[in-house]
Structure 1
Amino acid sequence: MPEKKSYLLGLMGAGIGGSLSPAMHEEEARQLGLQCVYRRIDLDLLQRDARTRPDLLPELLRAAEQMGFDGLNITYPCKQSVIPLLDSLAPEAQALGAVNTVLLRDGQRIGHNTDCSGFARAFQQGLPGVALDHVVQLGAGGAGAAVAHAALTLGVRRLSVFDVDTARAAALSEVLQQRFPDVEVRAGEALESTLARACGLIHATPTGMAKLPGLPLPAAWLHRDLWVADIVYFPLRTALLEAAQALGCLTMSGGGMAVAQAVDAFRLFTRQEPDAARMSAHFQTLLPC
């Protein structure tokens, strides 16, 4: 029997009102005979100016500690800005330069990353056997860093990284190239022509979320020989996936990653082994009809 039977957890980020993480963690805890309260800490509700939202992090982390939180999931736009506020990083978070899970334990703030392992497992299940010769990735932020790392561990031979912040795309590409010297990782320069030569597209930006609807690129730039993987899961069927499916592309939604990273985070929070299949089945019941 676990020594600890109750947990206070939270999700910290912007525009997280639709997140299914609270329901997933609370239900799995109930199934394991644990008590879990999981709260959203939505930066959009605390301060409207996106430029100063990271300034709230020190205060929010202190408040979470004072209120007895056991841990926090971290999402957009805090996965990188939270790092200087932590006491230590697990190896995977250190390597990626991004954190999506913080343990608040024994007066220490310990950063982990479950996005990388979550995307890898979801991809292997959702797009088994697809070509990995040349993949384009949109997004080089905290989630993008984890997903790109996962893609390269899965066997991608050439990765072209694009981001609205070209310096960020270049920095991530340089780090990944050093870590994976036997493959080619480059910051992309011409998205349309690069995508025309690619076999796969990974979308790792917030575009397509319920609060940021739309496409991250012109639909006309897609082609039927692409597979398309989106990490957005709310909504599960994004405008990008709809456009890709209309062309006959193989696609993967962000649902698999959402569940897989939650499974790993739950294990870190509780030190108990969650039932991944049960969490996935519960996730499906939470989705809008």
Structure 2
Amino acid sequence: GANITIPYKQDFIPLINKLSPLAERLHSVNTIKNVNGAFEGYNTDYAGIALTFELKNWQVKDKQAYILGSGGASLAIAHYLSDQGAQSVTIVSRSVGQKNGPWKYIDYAELKKHSGDFLVNCTPIGMYPDVDASPVDETVIAQFNYLFDMTYNPAVTKFLGIGNSLGKDTVNGLDMLVGQAIRSVEIWEERTFTQDEVLSILNYFRENWNGAK
């Protein structure tokens, strides 16, 4: 099997012979399993997102969420937030005309007029080597309570650093990265990791990951 990363999670779909129901609903594939020469496509980002929210004990029901970026990862978290009963999910995109799904789309200029509970960065802005960049500035970040940056290199991006300085509850994408990888291995090897095994793997990476160069 293999993993697929940005920006190919949607582009790869025409090459897949069979999509899992979740991958088809999300229109995003990040895991491929070779079954007798045929490609099966799965989405394990959803599982990584769910694990991140569970470990943070973040409650989504009736909350307002804004997602930066409109690629495959943003669709996965938009579905997750909607499935968990979010009051509203808004996707912030530079291409608001290219809508994919039932959510409201706004551009970055419009975002400055909004506030909410969750602000999720699904763009690569701020990832190494572009470590001095943030997808939004402090005035926007101040309008939200919970920050989730799906990037994980560096461990604390400028986006999260600003949030930390403002006393926001923050998390990077490491738990999601490891969580989706665990789910991918479960698919490839047709096995299930116990909760203790999952936490042991996560703790290993948390203790040893400071961001690659």
Match of 2:124 in 1: 206
How many angstroms does 1:259 deviate by? 1.6
Q: Would you say the 8 A contact 1:210–1:234 is kept in 2?
A: yes
The whole-number CA distance in structure 1 between the counterparts of 2:148 and 2:62 is: 12
Give the one of 92, 109, 113 matched to 1:193: 113
Closer, same or farther: CA 139–224 of 1 in aligned 2, 3 Å: closer
1:260 to 2:179 alignment: yes
Query: Counterparts in 2 of 1:21-36, with a 5 A limit?
Result: none
How many angstroms does 1:268 deviate by? 0.7
1:228 to 2:153 alignment: no
Structure 1 unaligned spans of 5+: 1-70, 178-184
Match of 1:100 in 2: 30
The whole-number CA distance in structure 1 between the counterparts of 2:30 and 2:59 is: 28
Match of 2:43 in 1: 113
Query: Counterparts in 2 of 1:209-288, with a 5 A limit?
Result: 209-213=127-131, 214-223=133-142, 225-274=144-193, 275-288=197-210
1:86 to 2:16 alignment: yes
How many angstroms does 1:134 deviate by? 1.5
Closer, same or farther: CA 255–193 of 1 in aligned 2, 3 Å: same
Q: Residue type of the partner of 2:33? A: L
How many angstroms does 1:77 deviate by? 1.1
The whole-number CA distance in structure 1 between the counterparts of 2:54 and 2:111 is: 26
The percent identity for this pair of structures is 27
Q: Residue type of the partner of 2:188? A: F
Q: Residue type of the partner of 2:200? A: R
How many angstroms does 1:148 deviate by? 1.0
The whole-number CA distance in structure 1 between the counterparts of 2:57 and 2:113 is: 24
The whole-number CA distance in structure 2 between the counterparts of 1:287 and 1:278 is: 14
Q: Residue type of the partner of 2:91? A: V
Q: Would you say the 8 A contact 2:52–2:176 is kept in 1?
A: yes
Q: Residue type of the partner of 1:276? A: V
In the alignment of these two chains, the number of paired residues is 205
Closer, same or farther: CA 128–286 of 1 in aligned 2, 3 Å: same
Closer, same or farther: CA 132–208 of 1 in aligned 2, 3 Å: farther
The whole-number CA distance in structure 1 between the counterparts of 2:116 and 2:52 is: 21
1:74 to 2:74 alignment: no
The whole-number CA distance in structure 2 between the counterparts of 1:285 and 1:248 is: 23
Match of 2:80 in 1: 150
How many angstroms does 1:276 deviate by? 0.9
How many angstroms does 1:288 deviate by? 2.3
The whole-number CA distance in structure 2 between the counterparts of 1:86 and 1:167 is: 27
Deviations 1:7-54 (A, max 9, x none): xxxxxxxxxxxxxxxxxxxxxxxxxxxxxxxxxxxxxxxxxxxxxxxx
Query: Counterparts in 2 of 1:158-173, with a 5 A limit?
Result: 158-168=88-98, 171-172=99-100
Closer, same or farther: CA 132–245 of 1 in aligned 2, 3 Å: farther
The whole-number CA distance in structure 1 between the counterparts of 2:61 and 2:147 is: 12
- TM-score, normalised by the number of residues in structure 1: 0.67
Q: Would you say the 8 A contact 2:119–2:144 is kept in 1?
A: no
How many angstroms does 1:273 deviate by? 2.4
Give RMSD over aligned pairs.
1.8
Q: Would you say the 8 A contact 1:117–1:150 is kept in 2?
A: no
The whole-number CA distance in structure 2 between the counterparts of 1:131 and 1:243 is: 26
Secondary structure in structure 1 of the residue aligned to 2:112 = helix
Q: Residue type of the partner of 2:202? A: S
Which has a greater percent of helix? 1
1:139 to 2:139 alignment: no
Structure 2 unaligned spans of 5+: none
Q: Would you say the 8 A contact 1:131–1:199 is kept in 2?
A: no
How many angstroms does 1:155 deviate by? 2.1
Query: Counterparts in 2 of 1:34-45, with a 5 A limit?
Result: none
